Amino acid sequence: MSGIINQIGSKSGVIGQISGGFTKIASFVSTTTTDFPNVFSSTFNNYHVVISHLTPASDDVACYLRLLDTSGSQTTDQDYAYATGGSYMNSGGGGNDQFRGRWKGENEANKWEISPAGANVGSGTGEGLNCTFTFFDPFSSTNFCYVGGQSVMLQEGGDQIRTSHFSGVYHDSMSAGGFKVYFSSGVPAKSVVNVYGYG
């Protein structure tokens, strides 16, 4: 068991050599990048994305996710359906469960929201969004693309922790070449994004 843990924990790219495991295909460390084109292809069926320290330049903004087509243009029609459920706990011991979502064709169903339910992303010290999600078969031109993941962040100057699980489907057939992660206002002040392919 310890050998497996050492392999997965290695920073030398060993994870891409494990039979049936993840292969890192892209890595971005940027202060302003929102578009990640040309990361999906016929090489893999599924793609796993890990984002850390996604911090907005302006405070108190929502975070969204869209698909990019194979030419790198974002898809903005009303075919995004999603559901998000999460909870929070504050420094005083209080907490609550919260939910949000959209169905295709509804107002603002032109994107998936990945910020934790009931909250926006802050720009203060220790704030920012950390999330991981998987795209299922995004490059297929016949199957719908599904996405599922989770997120966690501090809020209110570090006095509150929020977490969410989210899932979505792009309710139409298209071949996606990549994805876009962006805020409702402004650009990221910092972010680290890694993309892996598998299956």
> Does some domain include residue 12?
no
Instruction: List the domain range (segments joined by +) for residue 33.
Output: 23-146+157-198
Query: Per the structure block, which two tokens stand in for 144?
Result: 């719908």
> Does some domain include residue 181?
yes
Tally of structural domains, the chain: 1
Helix boundaries (H) for the chain: 2-9
Whole-angstrom distance, CA of residue 161 vs CA of residue 95: 9
> Does some domain include residue 11?
no
> Does some domain include residue 106?
yes
Domain CATH number, residue 71: 2.60.120
> Does some domain include residue 16?
no
Local confidence pLDDT in tens for the 199 residues of the chain: 333 323 333 333 444 444 458 999 999 988 788 999 999 999 999 999 999 999 999 899 999 999 999 999 999 999 999 999 888 788 777 677 777 888 988 888 899 999 887 788 988 888 889 999 999 999 999 999 999 999 999 876 657 888 899 999 999 999 999 999 999 998 898 899 999 999 9
pLDDT of residue 9: 36
63-69 β-sheet, strand order:
35-36, 176-183, 63-69, 112-113
**Predicted model pTM:** 0.85
